[in-house]
Amino acid sequence: MSALYPLLIIAVVLGIVLNLAGGLIWVERRLLALWQDRYGPNRVGPFGLGQVVADSVKLFTKEDWIPPFADKPVFVLAPAVVVATSLLAFAVIPFAAGFVIADLSVGILFLLAASSLGVYSVVLAGWSSNNKYALLGGLRATAQMLSYEVFMGLSLMGVVIMAGSFRLGDIVEAQRHMWYVVPQFAGFVMFLIAGVAETRRLPFDLAESESELIAGFHSEYSGMKFGMFFVGEYIGVILISAMLTLCYFGGWLGPVLPGPVWFGLKTMAFICLFILFRAALPRPRFDQLMSWGWKVLLPLALLNLLVTGAAVLLLR
């Protein structure tokens, strides 16, 4: 039984994440419709729930076309990279006390390393398509993801200093008396902004802005390859939401309800916030996005790190 337990956890985690990523297609459309005062999916099945099935059937049956001018091996590999790297990061996410695939002592570092590997997917997709719009989208995505990865890591260092550990379980347990969103509010805001940029979600979807680049790095993709980019994006949103919950909002800690329920509710609240950003915020120019990151977020992240370190030393 002890040998089967890790395999059971892996199966449960994969089942939850992949099914939630598919279900978010329906959730996002319904919430966007609600906030923009229009109808969402409501024809296929009750409340439009069959829309996810209909979209899946369409993607699986659509012609899997590869452009003759593309670099075929790299073109085929690129969509798999974004899904694989995003799922790899969930290996260290504790959904409850003791319910984790790999309880690493460097969990935060593993998360940042695994999530940053997703940049290979977009740059390979843009380059292998042999399309100028796809290449520009891949270059934009690469610059955006590499830049905001720096601020994401620095914003988390305040949490690490306060908890005294890189292990995610220790960070959650250290928040029993107070969630870190209170003393680390600046770090929370910076991590949220960096998380939106890292997942290339609106308003930071400049790597695939339709008015400029058609669809950016996945312009030449169709069928299930396009679907994998779509699913990878939703898995990234779930991952960033789970990290926000663990590092700033006490993870599974909460009264009355079981720990996994609290973790799920908090994570879903952040997923809804990602969708609200798409419904409400305009898209900036790419130069504004990069300038905002290096000229504003980087100094603020370093200042937050210095102030947190000084405060912890003084209190000790």
Q: Return the pLDDT at 207.
A: 67
pTM above 0.85, yes or no: yes
Q: Quote the tokens at residue 299.
A: 């100094």
Mean pLDDT within 242-265: 90
Percent of the chain with pLDDT over 70: 96
Q: Return the pLDDT at 86.
A: 87
212 — pLDDT class (breaks 50, 70, 90):
low
Q: Quote the tokens at residue 170.
A: 């220790």
Q: Return the pLDDT at 315.
A: 87
Q: Quote the tokens at residue 46.
A: 């009750």
pLDDT digits (tens, 9 = 90+) for 150-184: 888 899 999 999 998 899 989 999 998 899 999 99
- Is 126 or 111 the better-scoring residue by pLDDT? 111
- pLDDT above 60 (res 214): yes
25 — pLDDT class (breaks 50, 70, 90):
confident
C-alpha span between 85 and 80 (Å, rounded) = 9
* Neighbouring-strand partners of residue 99: 96
C-alpha span between 110 and 88 (Å, rounded) = 9
Give how many domains the chain has, as a whole number: 1
- Asked if residue 203 has a cis previous peptide bond (ω within 30° of 0), the answer is yes
- pLDDT above 70 (res 213): no
DSSP string, 99-164: B-S---TTHHHHHHHHHHTTHHHHHHHHHHTT-HHHHHHHHHHHHHHHHHHHHHHHHHHHHHHHHT
Q: Return the pLDDT at 2.
A: 62
Mean pLDDT within 227-242: 89
Mean pLDDT within 232-237: 89
Q: Quote the tokens at residue 77.
A: 């590999």
- pLDDT above 70 (res 35): yes
Q: Return the pLDDT at 287.
A: 83
| Mean pLDDT value across the chain | 86
Which residue type sits at 44? V
- Is 96 or 208 the better-scoring residue by pLDDT? 96
- pLDDT above 60 (res 1): no
Q: Position of tokens 């089942």?
A: 15
- pLDDT above 60 (res 292): yes
* Neighbouring-strand partners of residue 279: none
Q: Quote the tokens at residue 56.
A: 């899946």
Domain that holds residue 146: 4-315
C-alpha span between 43 and 314 (Å, rounded) = 61
Helix residue ranges per DSSP H, the chain: 4-35, 51-61, 72-89, 107-116, 119-128, 132-163, 168-173, 185-198, 210-213, 223-248, 259-280, 286-292, 298-315
Q: Return the pLDDT at 272.
A: 92
- pLDDT above 90 (res 185): yes
Mean pLDDT within 59-83: 83
Q: Return the pLDDT at 286.
A: 80
